[in-house]
Amino acid sequence: MAYIFMDESGDLGFDKTKNNSHFFLVTFLLTDQEKEVEVIMKHVYKRMAGKKIKRKDYFHSNKELKSSVKRALDLASRRNIFALAVILDKSLLSWKGKQDSHVLYNKLVSFLLEQCEKRGYINGKEPLYFIASRKETNKELNHKFIEYVQKSVSDLIDIKVQIIPAWTSKWLELVDAISFFLYQKYEMNNLELYSVIKNKILLEKFFE
């Protein structure tokens, strides 16, 4: 079985009076090793002295010590996982493209899935589990997102889509870290922790 775990960084706000990001990223983490992340995060938690890890207090990259995040990325870089990201430069988006953030979000996810299929990273030889962290509480929007993802790959691919709370999956914790430091690269020109994982990044492509 193959797995794609998805997270995003930045925001899709366009209000110039607010502190909106310049870039928005969608990141995929690909793996065929379901249990691999347990080994990675177990070592990370051991080094987090004095911090109790609770289900409601999950590992979140922008709240943890940089050393803890760096260790997670370093361990991940030695495992059979890979990452892909699509980057949206919001300043280049037309007025029409800014009208519906949900539609734009779905297009970015679809674009990245199409790139995965086009480049042979996913195929019809095995079931594909697509797992995204739950950001939206609206059931109808979640349902539309699932339908959109399913239609983004060919009929040859058996894709099973899930939307779950981030704290229920260590894989989602890990892709959050990867996405956050990809975002740091573009939004803040900070390559410090990006460099730890860059050998595992198969694709970074701007959305056009």
Rg from Cα positions in the chain: 17
- C-beta separation of 152 from 114 below 8 A: yes
- Mean of all residue pLDDT scores within the chain: 87
Q: What is the pLDDT of residue 55?
A: 40
Q: Kindly report, residue by residue over 77-97, the tens digit of the pLDDT.
A: 999 999 999 999 998 887 655
Query: What is the pLDDT confidence band of residue 52, given thresholds at 50, 70 and 90?
Result: low
**Would you state the torsion angle of the CA atoms of residues 32, 36, 37, 40, taken in this order, to the nearest 10 degrees?**
-140
Q: Domain residue spans in the chain?
A: 2-206
From the list 87, 77, 86, the residue with the least C-alpha distance to 31 is: 77
Q: Is the pLDDT of residue 125 over 90?
A: no
Superfamily holding 2-206: Ribonuclease H-like superfamily/Ribonuclease H (3.30.420.10)
Q: Is the pLDDT of residue 113 over 60?
A: yes
Q: Kindly report, residue by residue over 130-169, the tens digit of the pLDDT.
A: 999 877 678 888 888 999 999 999 888 999 999 998 888 8
**Dist. CA 57–CA 76, nearest whole Å:** 21
